[in-house]
């Protein structure tokens, strides 16, 4: 078994999660519907909050923590959510979530004379890996003098969803992480070409379904490309020791990406609105992830040349 030489980055899954939220923010709405049993149409506005918080420590120091994301969905009413992504169960997760939600609540608290009003966001964790001991909910018990309350943290386990369920429920946000459901079979795929071909066929099916969604106007080419790009990034990390696996999936997804050529994105970007959207997406990636212009453009399925061209088009209009 030949190992690839590129270094593994443990933060890659966090990067993918945040990139999807920044560039494909509407895709998080069906996930919220599934986890919290909401009934959003998908047309609601998704507004992000700051993901950096400074927590006061007992020794007086301030420690910076970065949440995966907190956001508000603006529908009939405004509801705030905190969504965390975990590659595996972690006993300290509840501690971190409690730190996050209390700081989020405090950041947006209202002080009226002798009363401080704080509102905790609805919280959930997406577990990319899970086992029989992974619960479908977690709780934080809060005791105050004379009163106790339970703060619920919902759990979404990727292993609970088949590929068909992901498309039926419109949980496209999960697609880049779908390879996690195959992780236990990597050794078999590496040794058995027939079994590896089954995995390849599954990813051909994914690209076919995404193509259909683009043709139906349910997603645009930028969202489609982002899902494919992020799928490649995840498989290159999770299957770092299994060359046949990551090369096989990359060949399918990467080949399809080439069909979404620069001219396609440019054609969609001729209108003022599309140019503004491209610039907004690239700027968000650079701001939130600290990536360079070229990296941010690549993630949204564009290039620095297109980015500059969009700016020139807006300047002329």
pLDDT digit string (tens) for 39-87?
999 999 988 875 554 444 445 454 544 444 789 999 888 999 999 988 8
Contact 310, 275 (CB under 8 A): yes
For the range 53-61, what are the long-range contacts, defined as Cβ-Cβ under 8 Å and sequence gap of 24 or more?
53/99, 53/100, 53/103, 53/104, 53/107, 55/99, 55/103
Distance of alpha carbon 227 from alpha carbon 167, whole angstroms: 13
Q: pLDDT at position 5, please? A: 40
Contact 46, 27 (CB under 8 A): no
**CB atoms near residue 293 (< 10 Å):** 15
Q: pLDDT at position 1, please? A: 39
C-alpha distances (whole Å) from 185 to each of 134, 163, 177, 191, 202 are 20, 16, 15, 10, 14
Contact 235, 13 (CB under 8 A): no
**CB atoms near residue 58 (< 10 Å):** 5
Distance of alpha carbon 275 from alpha carbon 283, whole angstroms: 12
Q: pLDDT at position 204, please? A: 95
The stretches in the chain having pLDDT less than 70 are: 1-10, 50-68, 91, 258-273, 313, 316-317
Which pTM value belongs to this model? 0.74
Q: pLDDT at position 19, please? A: 86
Structure tokens at 184: 């236990």
Q: pLDDT at position 199, please? A: 95
Q: pLDDT at position 2, please? A: 39
Buried b (16+ CB within 10 A) or exposed e, 304-315: eebbebbeebee
**SS3 state at 116:** strand
Distance of alpha carbon 237 from alpha carbon 300, whole angstroms: 20
**CB atoms near residue 30 (< 10 Å):** 19
**CB atoms near residue 107 (< 10 Å):** 12
Nearest to 126 by CA among 83, 178, 79, 70: 83
Q: pLDDT at position 125, please? A: 93
> In terms of DSSP bridges, do strands 45-48 and 69-74 run parallel, antiparallel, or are they unpaired?
antiparallel
The separation between CA 252 and the C-alpha centre of its own chain, rounded to angstroms, equals: 21
């Amino acid at each position: 078994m030949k190992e690839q030489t590129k270094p593994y980055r443990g933060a890659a899954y966090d990067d993918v999660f945040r990139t999807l939220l920044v560039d494909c923010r509407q895709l998080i709405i069906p996930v919220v519907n599934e986890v919290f049993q909401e009934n959003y149409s998908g047309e609601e506005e998704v507004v992000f909050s700051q993901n950096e918080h400074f927590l006061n420590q007992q020794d007086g120091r301030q420690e910076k923590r970065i949440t995966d994301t907190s956001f508000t969905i603006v529908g009939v009413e405004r509801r705030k959510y905190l969504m965390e992504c975990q590659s595996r169960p972690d006993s300290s997760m509840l501690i971190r979530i409690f730190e996050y939600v209390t700081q989020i609540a405090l950041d947006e608290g209202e002080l009226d004379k002798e009363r401080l009003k704080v509102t905790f966001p609805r919280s959930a964790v997406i577990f990319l890996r899970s086992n029989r001991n992974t619960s479908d909910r977690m709780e934080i018990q809060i005791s105050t003098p004379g009163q106790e309350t339970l703060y619920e943290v919902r759990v979404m386990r990727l292993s609970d969803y088949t590929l068909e369920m992901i498309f039926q429920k419109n949980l496209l946000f999960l697609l880049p992480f779908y390879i996690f459901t195959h992780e236990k079979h990597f050794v078999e795929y590496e040794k058995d070409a027939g079994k590896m071909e089954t995995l390849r066929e599954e990813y051909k099916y994914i690209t076919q379904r995404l193509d259909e969604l683009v043709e139906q106007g349910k997603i645009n080419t930028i969202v489609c490309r982002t899902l494919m790009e992020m799928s490649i990034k995840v498989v290159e990390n999770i299957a770092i020791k299994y060359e046949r696996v990551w090369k096989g999936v990359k060949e399918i997804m990467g080949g399809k990406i080439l069909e979404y050529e620069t001219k396609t994105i440019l054609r969609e970007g001729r209108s003022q609105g599309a140019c503004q959207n491209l610039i907004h997406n690239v700027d968000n990636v650079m701001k939130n992830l600290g990536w360079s212009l070229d990296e941010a453009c690549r993630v949204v399925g564009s290039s620095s040349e297109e980015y500059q061209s969009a700016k020139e088009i807006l300047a002329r209009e």
